[in-house]
Structure 1
Amino acid sequence: MKAIQEIYLSDNLLVLAENQVRGDSGLNEIGKLPDFSVLDLGYNFLNGSISKSFGQLSNLHVLRLAGNSFDGDVISEAHFSNFYNLGKLDLSYTSLTLKFNTGWIPPFQLSQIKLCSCKLGPGFPDWLRTQKDFLLVLEYPDISASGISDSLPYWFWGHGLWYLNMSFNQISGTFPTHSIDITHLDLRSNNFSGPLPHFSLYFGFIGTINLSKNKFTGSVSPICNFTGAVYLTLFDLSNNLFSGVVPDCLNCTELKFLDLSDNELSGEIPMWLGQRLSSLVFLSLQRNQFRGRIPHQLCELKYLQILDLSVNKISDSIPPCLKNFNSMAKKVSLDRRIELHLLDALYVTSLIDVRYVDEALITWKGTKQNYPQLGLLLAIDLSCNKLTGEIPEELSSLQELVALNLSRNFFTGKILQKIGHLRQLEVLDLSRNKFSGNIPTSLSELTFLSILDLSYNDLSGKIPTSTQLQSFDPSSFSHNRGLCGPPISPNCSMVEPPPGKPAVGGEEDSDEYMKWFYTGMGLGFEVGFWGFCSVVFFKRSWRHSYYRYLDNAKDWVYVSFVLLKARLVGRIKGLSTRSD
């Protein structure tokens, strides 16, 4: 071992966590010391393989090797053969492969299992069943990102759990009809299906439920039957197949994160979101089928930092009361990242430290782009809706706003003259609307602006001069009538306004229309032609009538041609006689 910065060796505890211990020989030497009850070598630079002699620490209660690089080394039951007293096991982020024989019964009973990023799959580890059979001893299993691509066994929900993380696997199956006792549940990025389960949160403890990126279907009405929902702080149902109206029953005064994006939810945006969820920091209803206007009750969410209502069917105008978002209007103390740090006093001795960090994805030019520091992001995204009217003047009071996306709507009038008051703005997208007039000169005062798109509007005049605005690509200002000056042209003296084009949709929509026009014309001709031929071929009477019609037409053309020829010959002879 080298570069040990801190060592704590007392009461049979060896703690060398988060130092710079390197190599593998030292780890195997420790296996010769049988009296340790706690061994914590987490987050060092240990590598290589782990000797089976390491399993001789028969008095070990806590083993933590998390955050080291064992490069896929295989751990078998021989490594754990003498761990009779082991209660807490943390091998997270070690890339270890746990390969146990089918039917193996461990000699220990764990209360905490942390095996994130270990290789457990593809089958579901059946030895975990032995850890659940002892009443409620197992309180903290983490088997996330462990390569499991199996269905969840029937016995798994036999007892309640304090914390469960099975995220980033390919686990499938449905949930039982009875209520599931849980406090922190993370099942995101799996293949779970069926209706939304019924949950019961432990009384008095703040809870989190993340079911995003699965295949759940049906209504979200089971939330009305949640027990202890008042203590829920994070609720994420995004990227599923939920449908229907959001019921008026959720009462979560502690809820900070609500993400219902990428589903098929419909109806109007619930007014009660702003009335009952007063602690909300993050609200996303993106990519659903919500319609109607933005309820003014949302303005009561004074702690809101991110509001995403994009890609819906919302109409009417922006309510001026959005100025009441205090977190966006005033400089307040914000965490560097929006993070839920959940550490309950009753479980300090169990070392349960649950952290949830949400990630913001800004929709930009049709794609989602990740924002690295969510806690610094104050964003409003209303893009891809049917909003109309002008941008309310009150929006200029949100002086701490970082990202504003109003693209692909039907806004009219001039761009907010006081847009320069939004001094912290880094992202501004007003493209594909019907804004007209000049670009406000105050826009040149936005020194932090790094993403700008004003394309496909009816803007005109000279682009304000500033180092910031002239550094953007000309596409940021394209398809506007009469805009001139750098970066789209050297100056305004010789520039003629280009012919007007429709702002909303632009060239892409025009090309799409022509493509479908020609496709439809070709299909129409083909269907008509073969339909006619089919009728003539299969119906004898029609076929005879059609042939008779062709004969009559041929005779008529022949007779008409002969008569016309006779007349022309007669006239020519008459002209030659007169000339003689």
Structure 2
Amino acid sequence: MHLDSCNLPSVISSSISFKNSSKTLTHLHLFDNHLPNSSIYSWLSNFSTSLLDLDLSLNNLQGAIPDYVFLNTTSLLHLDLGYNQIVGPLKYFGNLCSLKTLSLNNNSLTGQLPQLFSYLSGCSKHTLETLLLNYNILSGSLPDFTLFSSLRELQIKGNKLNGSFPKSFGQLSHLTILDLDNNNLGGSIPDLSVFVSLKELHIHGNLFNGTFPKSIGKLSKLELLDVSSNFLEGIDLSYNNFGASKISFQDQFLCYVRSLSLHLRNNSFVRELPSSLYYCRELRVIDVGHNKFSGKIPVWMDYTLSDLAFLSLRSNQFHGTLPIALCNLVKLQVLDLSLNNITGAIPKCLANLISIAKKESLDGATNIFYPFPNLVMLNGRKTTMYQDHALLGWKGVDSLYKNTLGLVKSIDLSSNKLSRQILEAITSLVGLISLNLLRNTLTGPIPPKLGRFSYLNSLDLSKNLLTGKIPSSTKLQSFDAPAYMGNPELCGPPLPNKCPEEEPAQNEAIPLHDDKEGFVVEGLYVSIFLGFFTGLWGVCGTLMLNRS
């Protein structure tokens, strides 16, 4: 029977017949009739056990519910008492041994949440699947709700919860939705891997701190995650089992109040990079490498991310040209855009990356530390700092950097479709430790100023269309030949092929020139000797004749 929004009149308790006229009524919906306690409770207490579904939401039920009200409704499967003014305690619901759904949204429930769960720990503990307690005045910590073995959906948002997660959970849970938004829950987030069926996790607007646990990556069914507006220092979702198009980026979910580090590496995220990153103005590390993000590199990635030191979009499906906005990331020390489909020229304004242009780290640190707002437990130790980490490609191998991350200055644009010359703009970035332009279509000569990069330890310019002689310098000649191979018109050490001006004259021409020269000299001596001999005999012969 559905009598929703029918403006039913209030009934005086003394006029109610306690004789139930129906033995077979299973569904009764009285939603939005503004019925008071007097019209409901006495009648309901004498109801038969046939009722399975009861909706009394949006009425005028106030205060505590008497213990006797649900004594005879032991067959109830679904009970909705939302949008009333009910207060606790709720001792009697634990005896509803068939109850699957209990909604008490938008009431005035007070007291400690663990106490409420203890009231529900009767036989309903094994049947309850959905528990909705949104927008009440409940306080305290979260109990171990995994002990409710059938629970699938738990919503407690908009209360006054001021504790924390339990340190551990007792057993695997089949919970699919957990919504704790807008409370005052704090502390660190524990291992969540017991929630193997979780699809939605909402913890927006709380006081959680520390780093988001990597165990979130074991939740292969997760579709929606909102951790915004907390005091989390970083989120590392690297190397996980998230499906290709499953996880949904809730608006600004990545940008909780003090977000400084974002790791989404090695997943299967698709579509464009979340625009909510625009609001993450304190981010220092963004690593979304090895996913399936596509579209152009966002132009909003400029002054709004002015503290960004590490940006990796490696191995995705980004296309288009390099946006000028990247040049405004003046604190950037690591830029990895390799293995994409980026086209066009390297922008001149890369010279604006002043942190790479300096030979020391911007803040003098060898690593990247972030302060926690409070003293927290991390890896079993009390600390106020979190040390970040990142995975970098170094000489063809991915290596984890932690203690020296703050010292690394690297640009990797390899395996794209960049064209034109290597601009002089790059030659101003004298603090570079690694430069990788492998497998593009760059043309022209290698700028001689690259030879002045005294800190450069890794260089790869192979498989391009570079031309001319490799500039002579101790630094450029210190790299092995593979760093330059695959450029057909490039020559000079350390490549084995010599440049045209270094080729000697043809060997066969030299002896021919020498033989001719020797023949001429020999003829000259013979001529002189014959002339002298002939002249001498001419003089002597004349004198002898005259004497005769």
Task: Supply the distance in 2 between the matched residues of 1:214 and 1:150 (Cα, whole angstroms).
Answer: 19
Query: How big is the shift at 1:211?
Result: 1.6
Say if 2:395 and 2:458, in contact at 8 Å, map to a contact too: no
Say if 1:244 and 1:267, in contact at 8 Å, map to a contact too: yes
1:240 matched to 2:275: no
Secondary structure in 1 matching 2:225:
coil
Task: Supply the distance in 1 between the matched residues of 2:330 and 2:281 (Cα, whole angstroms).
Answer: 14
Give runs of aligned pairs for residues 351-370 of structure 1, distance below 5 A. 351-362=382-393, 364-365=395-396, 367-370=397-400
Number of the residue aligned with 2:124:
none
Letter in 2 for 1:257: V
TM-score, normalised via structure 1 length: 0.51
Higher helix proportion (structure 1 or 2): 1
1:272 matched to 2:304: no
1:485-542 residue CA offsets vs partner (Å, 9 max, x unmatched): xxxxxx976999xxxxxxxxxxxxxxxxxxxxxxxxxxxxxxxxxxxxxxxxxxxxxx
Task: Supply the distance in 1 between the matched residues of 2:247 and 2:176 (Cα, whole angstroms).
Answer: 24
- The CA RMSD measured in Å over matched residues stands at 4.3
Letter in 2 for 1:226: F
Task: Supply the distance in 1 between the matched residues of 2:290 and 2:340 (Cα, whole angstroms).
Answer: 10
Alignment equivalent of 1:212, drawn from 216, 219, 238: 238
Q: Larger C-alpha radius of gyration, 1 or 2?
A: 2
Alignment equivalent of 2:460, drawn from 429, 437, 440: 429
1:137 matched to 2:163: yes
Task: Supply the distance in 2 between the matched residues of 1:394 and 1:453 (Cα, whole angstroms).
Answer: 21
Task: Supply the distance in 1 between the matched residues of 2:146 and 2:506 (Cα, whole angstroms).
Answer: 71
Q: Give the unaligned 5+ runs of structure 2.
A: 1-139, 508-548
Q: Give the unaligned 5+ runs of structure 1.
A: 1-109, 112-123, 465-476, 485-490, 497-580
Task: Supply the distance in 1 between the matched residues of 2:505 and 2:241 (Cα, whole angstroms).
Answer: 58
Task: Supply the distance in 1 between the matched residues of 2:436 and 2:505 (Cα, whole angstroms).
Answer: 33
Task: Supply the distance in 2 between the matched residues of 1:331 and 1:267 (Cα, whole angstroms).
Answer: 34
Alignment equivalent of 1:413, drawn from 424, 429, 444: 444
Say if 2:176 and 2:199, in contact at 8 Å, map to a contact too: no
1:322-342 residue CA offsets vs partner (Å, 9 max, x unmatched): 111111102344455432332
1:174 matched to 2:198: yes
1:101-126 residue CA offsets vs partner (Å, 9 max, x unmatched): xxxxxxxxx99xxxxxxxxxxxx997
Task: Supply the distance in 2 between the matched residues of 1:237 and 1:393 (Cα, whole angstroms).
Answer: 34
Q: How many residues align?
A: 344
Alignment equivalent of 1:457, drawn from 478, 487, 500: 487
Secondary structure in 2 matching 1:201:
coil
Number of the residue aligned with 2:89:
none
Task: Supply the distance in 2 between the matched residues of 1:188 and 1:241 (Cα, whole angstroms).
Answer: 16
Alignment equivalent of 1:253, drawn from 256, 259, 281: 281
Q: Aligned residues: percent identity?
A: 31
Task: Supply the distance in 2 between the matched residues of 1:263 and 1:318 (Cα, whole angstroms).
Answer: 24
Say if 1:140 and 1:161, in contact at 8 Å, map to a contact too: no
Letter in 1 for 2:371: L
Alignment equivalent of 1:188, drawn from 198, 209, 214: 214
1:418-461 residue CA offsets vs partner (Å, 9 max, x unmatched): 1112211011011111111111113x236986996112112444
Alpha carbons of structure 1 residues 463 and 364: separation in structure 2 relative to 1, 3 Å: same
Alpha carbons of structure 1 residues 176 and 199: separation in structure 2 relative to 1, 3 Å: same
Secondary structure in 1 matching 2:422:
coil
Give runs of aligned pairs for residues 414-563 of structure 1, distance below 5 A. 414-442=445-473, 444-445=474-475, 453-463=483-493, 477=495, 482=498
Task: Supply the distance in 2 between the matched residues of 1:223 and 1:456 (Cα, whole angstroms).
Answer: 45
Alpha carbons of structure 1 residues 184 and 451: separation in structure 2 relative to 1, 3 Å: farther
Secondary structure in 2 matching 1:137:
coil
Letter in 1 for 2:188: Y
Alpha carbons of structure 1 residues 286 and 353: separation in structure 2 relative to 1, 3 Å: same
Letter in 2 for 1:266: S
1:304-358 residue CA offsets vs partner (Å, 9 max, x unmatched): 011010100000011011111111102344455432332324769x945452321
Secondary structure in 2 matching 1:261:
coil
Give runs of aligned pairs for residues 116-131 of structure 1, distance below 5 A. none
Number of the residue aligned with 1:384:
415
1:378-419 residue CA offsets vs partner (Å, 9 max, x unmatched): 000101111111101111111111010100111111112211
Alpha carbons of structure 1 residues 354 and 370: separation in structure 2 relative to 1, 3 Å: closer
Query: How big is the shift at 1:238?
Result: 1.5
Number of the residue aligned with 1:326:
354
Query: How big is the shift at 1:173?
Result: 3.7
1:231 matched to 2:258: yes
Task: Supply the distance in 2 between the matched residues of 1:483 and 1:140 (Cα, whole angstroms).
Answer: 71
Secondary structure in 2 matching 1:209:
strand
Query: How big is the shift at 1:155?
Result: 9.0
Greater mean deviation of Cα atoms: 368-377 or 296-305: 368-377
Letter in 2 for 1:163: S
Task: Supply the distance in 1 between the matched residues of 2:394 and 2:364 (Cα, whole angstroms).
Answer: 23
Secondary structure in 2 matching 1:287:
coil
Query: How big is the shift at 1:231?
Result: 2.7
Secondary structure in 2 matching 1:197:
strand
Query: How big is the shift at 1:374?
Result: 1.9
Number of the residue aligned with 2:369:
340
Alignment equivalent of 1:300, drawn from 328, 334, 340: 328
Secondary structure in 2 matching 1:212:
coil
TM-score, normalised via structure 2 length: 0.54
Number of the residue aligned with 2:188:
163
